Amino acid sequence: MYLANEPKTKRGLETLKNICDSAEKLFSEKGYYNTSINDITSEANVAPGTFYIYFNDKKSVFQYLIHDLSKELRKQIKMESTDCKTRYDAEFQGMKSFFKFVQSHTGLYKIIWESQFVDFEIFKAYYETFAERYIANIKLAQTEGEMKEMDPEALAYCLMGISNFIGLKWVIFEDREVPDETIEQIMAFIRSGIFNVDVK
């Protein structure tokens, strides 16, 4: 569903990335319905026929883009949280990683939210895939006594919602980094609500 015709050469991979970068830029600026394949290929400076080497239609590149952005976001958070010793530290670092990623992909919000009108299943899958791993980590932290015994699924969506709207406020609305002080205040709020008080 989300796969492109993956190239096997370095040049082909560069062309695919160029098309995806151009699609991300245009979808975030103009929206899905106001962007054409010709717009994408013109932005990418490739021939219109080149697009069809990698994708069947406009919806295919839209689906692939959301899937790829989701994968890259989860990869970045995992990589930057690897050395965290506690779930609390992982939450703190994960939040910072999310804000950093959004700053590099500011169109992510527009693309993801528009996807509910383009393909509701991919919109749903974006959040459910992210939540799936989150829930597993929460359950592990609960087993180890770090987090309070609350519904892991509800907690995952609460924490995702906090990051989502804090990023929207500072990164998208105000076009600036989320201040460290703000992140620390959010984490103090989260710690008092869902973490056991003797765990940090």
Q: Cα 157–100–71 angle (5° rounding)? A: 60
This prediction has a pTM of 0.85
Encode the chain (200 residues) as per-residue pLDDT tens digits. Answer: 567 888 889 999 999 999 999 999 999 999 999 999 999 999 999 999 999 999 999 999 999 999 998 999 999 999 999 999 999 999 999 999 999 999 999 888 899 999 999 999 999 999 999 999 999 999 999 999 999 999 999 999 999 999 999 999 999 999 999 999 999 999 999 988 878 755 44
Q: Please state which of the four CATH numbers 3.40.640.10, 1.10.3720.10, 3.40.50.720, 1.10.357.10 is assigned to the domain occupying 10-194.
A: 1.10.357.10
Give the separation between CA 19 and CA 25, rounded to whole angstroms. 10
Do the beta carbons of residue 156 and residue 135 sit within 8 Å?
yes
E strands, the chain, where? none
Domain boundaries of the chain, sorted by first residue: 10-194
